[in-house]
Amino acid sequence: MSLDQELRRLFDDERLELPVRPDAEHAVLRGAKRRRTRRRALAAGGAAVAVVAALAGGIVLTDLGRTASAPPATDRSDPVPTPAPGRIDTVPHDVIGPHGLGRLSLGMTEADAVATGLIKANSKEKSEDGCRGYNYADETVRHGYYSLLFSDKHGLVRLEARRGTKTPEGIRIGSSVRDVERVYTASKMWHGAVGERITDVPGNPDANYWLIVRDDVLTEVRLELKEQDCYR
């Protein structure tokens, strides 16, 4: 018997036949319907999960964006202002004129000048004309030689430049007569002594510079009131 005939004989055997249930067709249809229902339920559930996940992700991203762009406000009090420093004296201490030297000004009272702590009384308290004489606090005092003179009527009438000070025009102890005459063109001999000159003070019509020259070099600069009663 050939192989083809043998296979046909086996497939035609009644023992291979399976009985078919009468409602087999309906059972198949019901099974297919159940499978479609499950697929639709699974699809709907997956969509819902996806929506929830998207919403959650959006909230997280929104919070992250808010955190990055605008940090939550903290309770910060206004900055405490720094206390203003004490008053700083802006008057130059190395310039004599047009009204004084540092905190010492022509016309100020003796009490106000003493209160600065910059001056001390001379061992000879009064001049021949009754004015009170003082020297600078760190100055070596010579009896009867005054760096400052005070009048009862006019207050501080004269103060002397210290070494290293200069006038606003740049004249100082050590300047040459030529420089003095170039700057103060109206200077003239006065006070009755050789080498003593007087000139108006630029910027103060009530004051003079009293300039003392020795060997063509300026040795003393004094700022004085034109109207005073301490000397002639």
List the domain boundaries for the chain.
100-225
**Residue 50: its pLDDT value, please?**
53
Which of 181, 169, 179, 182 has the alpha carbon at shortest distance from 223?
169
**Residue 143: its pLDDT value, please?**
95
**Residue 9: its pLDDT value, please?**
72
Of 36-45, 106-115, 146-155, 205-214, the range with the lowest mean pLDDT is 36-45
Rounded distance between C-alpha atoms, residue 100 and residue 110, angstroms = 14
pLDDT tens for each residue of 165-205: 999 999 999 999 999 989 998 666 566 677 888 999 999 99
Task: Say if residues 119 and 136 touch (Cβ distance below 8 Å).
Answer: yes
Task: Say if residues 222 and 158 touch (Cβ distance below 8 Å).
Answer: yes
Tell me the H-state helices in 148-228.
177-183
Query: Is a pLDDT exceeding 80 seen at residue 46?
Result: no
Rounded distance between C-alpha atoms, residue 201 and residue 220, angstroms = 15
What mean pLDDT is predicted for residues 106-131?
96
**Residue 173: its pLDDT value, please?**
96
Global confidence as pTM: 0.60
Would you give the DSSP letter of residue 204? E
Fold type of domain 100-225: protein yfey like fold (2.60.460)
Query: Is a pLDDT exceeding 70 seen at residue 68?
Result: no
Of 70-74, 123-127, 131-135, 152-156, the range with the lowest mean pLDDT is 70-74
Query: Is a pLDDT exceeding 80 seen at residue 70?
Result: no
Query: Is a pLDDT exceeding 70 seen at residue 21?
Result: no
